[in-house]
Amino acid sequence: MKKMLASTVVLMSSLGLSTGAWAQGKEIRVLLANHPYGELLKTAIPEFEKQSGIKVNFESLQEGQLTTKLTTEFATKSSSVDVFMTRPLQEGKMFNKNGWYEPLKSYDFSDYPKPVMSVAAAGSTPYLVPLVTEWQVLYYRKDLLQAAGLAVPKTLVELEGAAKKLNTDGVAGFASRGKGAAAVTQLSSYIYGYGGLYLDKGVAVFDQPAAIDALRYYGKILGNYGPKGVTSMSWENIMPLFQAGKVAMWTDASVFYGQIVDPAKTQIPAANVGIADLPAGPKAQSPFLVTSWGIAVANQSKNKEAALKFLDWASSKELATKGMLASITMARSSVWKDPKVLEAVNPGLVATSIFAAKNGNAFDRPYMSAVGEARDQIGELIIESINTKGESANLAAMAKDKAARVNALLKDAGEYGQP
Amino acid sequence: MREPSFVERHLRVLFPLPAILFIALLMIFPILYTLALSFTSWNLTSGAPLRFVGLRNFEQVLTEPRFLDAVLRTFGFTIFAVLIEAVLGTAIALILNRAFIGKGLAKLLLLLPLVATPVAVGIVFNLFYDPTIGLANYVLSTFGLPQGLWVSDATSVIPSLIIVDVWQWTPMITLIVLAGLAGLSEEPFEAARVDGATQWQVLRHVTIPMVMPTILTAVILRLIDALKTFDIIFAMTGGGPGYASETLNIMGFKYSFEYFRMGQASVILIALFFFVLLCSLGIMKLRSSAEN
């Protein structure tokens, strides 16, 4: 009996070993995001498996859950993830600091514009490949503007005037995210328009007059002309309202354009939906243009060769072209010059992208490791400003306190004063 | 005579072993580990190695106004939700305890909220509560009543969440109380009727006192669960607007998976654990005195 048990154990362990050895280089685990590009990769993976002979086990997760899962797996050093989609601005700095990204020394990055690469590398060593970019735009209802005799707003002053005129009982004149932390990215371009910043050379400066003015403007226009309950609204709440015809103008990321003109999802005819550059502020017209998604190889991966092969394929020009044809705005420059692609992409999207590439800012949030907490701090200011319609007497003092807290976070992480 | 085998000699240890291992590995170990973490500086955003910091995390978290707000909110939510559920649940159980046509169907319908997934319930209620296109405001406006902001406003978010919790969990109290009512003996009721007690007097002085231990058991179960509520709140508001619906559990989640301050998150969770323990002990005491 004992002998049998012993031999079973030996047999089982040797089996385990041999499957382990077989899996090396032949099987990889990939974590994808629930994002249109993740969906595209999913459908194309069988093709990759056929050409490379590598088996791909993939999982798709919603963005917040993806960060949580990666963090817990990497932090406990128990991860079997080989390749993963990642958000450079949200988690890049922290992941890199903890050494979770594999440095990408041999990848050819010549097809990526410089601002895009600034969030993909530490010093001269890139650690992720940018996949998707997005920039802030103004979506508007052509029919409502026309009926009111209004031109498309070119400045924030005009935007406020139009919002006032278009605001009725059933339709909000203007919408943008108001839900604290989620609104931080959308407020950023307004702050740039007023000549301010969240962080300047690693120091929180959103308590400076320029940023406060922008915060007041954002609170005033949303508090007066925004949809009801806007302080609990992110894009997932505003988009359905816009699609239901309850919002006249909306500023958010370019990525939603495809969904608001899709006749299966929206009640307003596509012909009535316009897209324009974010209106100019008193100091600048500088919408964010960010790398929202990238892809990276895990430093802990035991199948790096196969993982790199997958990375090359998943970020290839062929797939980027496919992405563009599916209305996903890709980070590679070359696909934006391909006439066949440009023919299929909406001209408004192309025009706003060119504008943002020329005038945009590569950050839509404080770029730091503790970004989650910093966003909550700034989010409190946004809610205060909206609730008081921009009139809050406390706003400047609150901003000072929040900036001090964000500076403390920067100091904790050793990032204070670092460019 | 054959000597007893190893298994036979150690039955007393072997039989409960799986259960003990289960409790040790999956319950005691995580609690102790969390406690240990609460004394460390583990913070993923700093990238620094884990260090023992004594009581510093406790000092920082326990003096943070946001934490104190979360404690009060957790208790406020729990007390109101469980109180309403206990009263409503018992009342429904008393009604269902009589024979009437369609009783089976009524019981079945009552069970439906219990089996629904909380996150799905949250999503549906969010649609229902939407201030612009939601059904709740539509119904209110057709009756000429003022419309609410529901979960979108800091003052109404907790009551709105309590409504969802009550909708989902009242049936559980009803079920437990119904089982308790079915187990009561008939004699005291007969005696009361013979003595000429009115229906209200029977209810007030016979039924309720007899079924009280069962009600309290149901309340303990609900209370522990309500203190730990996560799914409904997370799915519906994520703790917002601002921090207006942030309970201890939500705050613990944010500190760990959004702020990556694992040490401080452990303090929050230890505090929650302590509160749950305290409440259960208190109510268990109350229950044993009700039984006597």
Nearest to B82 by CA among B206, B182, B176, B178: B176
Nearest CA in chain B to A75: B44
Which pLDDT score is estimated for B189? 87
Q: For an interface test with A, give the residue of B66, B258, B261 to mutate (most A CBs within 10 A).
A: B258
Alpha-carbon gap: B277 to the closest alpha carbon of chain A (Å): 27
Element containing residue A275 per DSSP (H, E): strand A273-277
Q: Produce one character per residue of B7-29: b if its CB has 16 or more CB atoms within 10 Å, e if not.
A: eeeeeeeeeeeeeeeeeeeeeee
Nearest to B40 by CA among B31, B49, B30, B28: B49
Which pLDDT score is estimated for A20? 41
**Would you call A328 exposed, middle or buried from its count of C-beta atoms within 10 A (0-12, 13-18, 19+)?**
buried
**Would you call A409 exposed, middle or buried from its count of C-beta atoms within 10 A (0-12, 13-18, 19+)?**
buried
Q: Which residues 118-157 in chain A show a CB within 8 A of chain B?
A: none
Question: Got the DSSP string for B180-201?
Answer: HHHTS-SHHHHHHHHTT--HHH
Q: Which residues of chain B have pLDDT under 70?
A: 1, 292
**Would you call A72 exposed, middle or buried from its count of C-beta atoms within 10 A (0-12, 13-18, 19+)?**
middle
Distance of alpha carbon B10 from the chain centroid = 40
Residue B32 tokens read as 């102790």
Alpha-carbon gap: A227 to the closest alpha carbon of chain B (Å): 7
Q: Are A241 and B132 in contact (CB under 8 A)?
A: yes
Nearest to B279 by CA among B228, B214, B210, B209: B228
Residue B201 tokens read as 């007097």
Beta carbon pairs, A and B, within 8 Å = 86
Which pLDDT score is estimated for B110? 87
Residues of B with CB under 8 A from a CB of A: 43-47, 130-133, 147, 149-153, 237, 240-242, 254, 257-261
Q: A379, B152: Cβ pair inside 8 Å?
A: no
CATH code at B38-291: 1.10.3720.10
Residue listed under structure tokens 């620094």: B48
Rounded Cα distance, B159 and B155, in Å: 8
Nearest CA in chain A to B49: A98
Which pLDDT score is estimated for B284? 80
Contacts of A414 in chain B (CB under 8 A): 46-47
Residue listed under structure tokens 């949030």: A365
Number of residues assigned to chain B: 292
pTM summary value: 0.87
Residue A87 tokens read as 């958000």
Q: A229, B150: Cβ pair inside 8 Å?
A: yes
Contacts of A243 in chain B (CB under 8 A): none
Q: Which residues of chain A have pLDDT under 50?
A: 1-25
Rounded Cα distance, A301 and A200, in Å: 36
Q: For an interface test with B, give the residue of A2, A97, A228 to mutate (most B CBs within 10 A).
A: A228
Q: A179, B258: Cβ pair inside 8 Å?
A: no
Which among B45, B240, B258 is the nearest to A232, CB-wise? B240
Which pLDDT score is estimated for A86? 96
B171-228 tens-digit pLDDT: 999 999 999 998 888 888 889 888 888 888 888 888 999 999 899 889 988 998 999 9
Alpha-carbon gap: A380 to the closest alpha carbon of chain B (Å): 6
Rounded Cα distance, B151 and B160, in Å: 6
Rounded Cα distance, A78 and A70, in Å: 10
Sign of CA dihedral A330, A269, A236, A149: positive
Q: Are B179 and B214 in contact (CB under 8 A)?
A: yes
Contacts of B259 in chain A (CB under 8 A): 370, 372-373, 376
Contacts of B275 (CB under 8 A, 6+ apart): B71, B74, B75, B227, B248
Which pLDDT score is estimated for A19? 41
Per-residue DSSP letter, A335? G
Indicate the domain borders of chain B. Answer: 6-36, 38-291
Residue listed under structure tokens 């199948």: A303
Task: Report ipTM for this prediction.
Answer: 0.84
Q: Which amino acid is at A338?
A: D
Which pLDDT score is estimated for B20? 92
Contacts of B133 in chain A (CB under 8 A): 240-241, 244, 246
Rounded Cα distance, A379 and A383, in Å: 6
Rounded Cα distance, A205 and A404, in Å: 10
Which pLDDT score is estimated for B204? 87
